[in-house]
Structure 1
């Protein structure tokens, strides 16, 4: 497999980013964006939203033999806009409303006319919140950092 096959196309990378951010968005963030949408699209459920379990796997030492760590609750949904665009969403937990809205916004992101709305009103605030949370966590961790040093005495 060459490098060109491993590197996703820009559109594919953008969609991965979109789906990832929608999965990490809160129900309130998605609900607020939905309420602010002037022309709400007609949707048809293709699958779900439905809740189930997935097996979480780990690796001994981070790279060793795989083992089953346990199960996690996941909710997923697939829906179709009236235009035929299909949206998918998955998220940890049991919040069916959140996953349904995430699937709608995934489908809207795929359409040229609504992509800017999804980017500016949904994805950018979620990305900003995540960056702020990660920065706060990094600062909190840095505050507990201890620098060790060795002082050499004499000639060894």
Structure 2
């Protein structure tokens, strides 16, 4: 679900084009947009504190066979939350899971990993070696 929560709705829909039409669903809740409090910890193990609020959109759906799917996504993209909820329900079905993992989840996960690696490479290029700098004096 984290892959779908991080993916844009357009990216998810683009990968769904290779699949047969999704079965009908009914909304149980939402999509609704609201705020959640983000908590943090000083130093990773200190006392928790309220870092700030964040906009989140959630949705719950029921498929024709009764399977229920839920999704939360950062931001206000209601289409993303609904599509993710539908895919959450379909991932619980043996007939859909392998196709969704191969044609939607895996490509999205690979693209997200590449973006993280590119960000890490850009950050590594700006790294300062303080030990080396003290040796230069």
Q: Same fold (TM over 0.5)?
A: yes
Offset at residue 75 of structure 1 (A): 0.4
Aligned match of 1:50: 32
Given the alignment of the two structures, is residue 112 of structure 1 paired with residue 94 of structure 2, yes or no? yes
Aligned match of 1:134: 116
Secondary structure at 1:112's aligned position in 2? coil
1:24-103 equivalence runs, <5 A: 24-103=6-85
Question: Any idea what the Cα deviations from partners look like across 1:23-74, whole Å, max 9, x if unmatched?
Answer: 0111111122344432320101111111111011112233212111111110
- State the superposition RMSD in angstroms: 1.5
Q: Is the 8 A contact 2:16 2:103 kept in 1?
A: no
**CA distance, structure 1, for counterparts of residue 38 and residue 52 of structure 2:** 5
Offset at residue 91 of structure 1 (A): 0.5
Higher RCO, 1 vs 2 (CA within 8 Å, ≥6 residues apart): 2
Secondary structure at 2:102's aligned position in 1? helix
Q: Is the 8 A contact 1:51 1:73 kept in 2?
A: yes
**CA distance, structure 1, for counterparts of residue 29 and residue 110 of structure 2:** 31
Aligned match of 1:22: 4
Greater C-alpha radius of gyration = 1
Superposition TM-score, scaled by structure 2 size? 0.89
Q: Is the 8 A contact 2:58 2:72 kept in 1?
A: yes
**CA distance, structure 2, for counterparts of residue 115 and residue 34 of structure 1:** 13
The correspondence for 1:122, drawn from 90, 101, 104, is: 104
Structure 2: gaps spanning 5 or more residues: none
Aligned match of 1:16: none
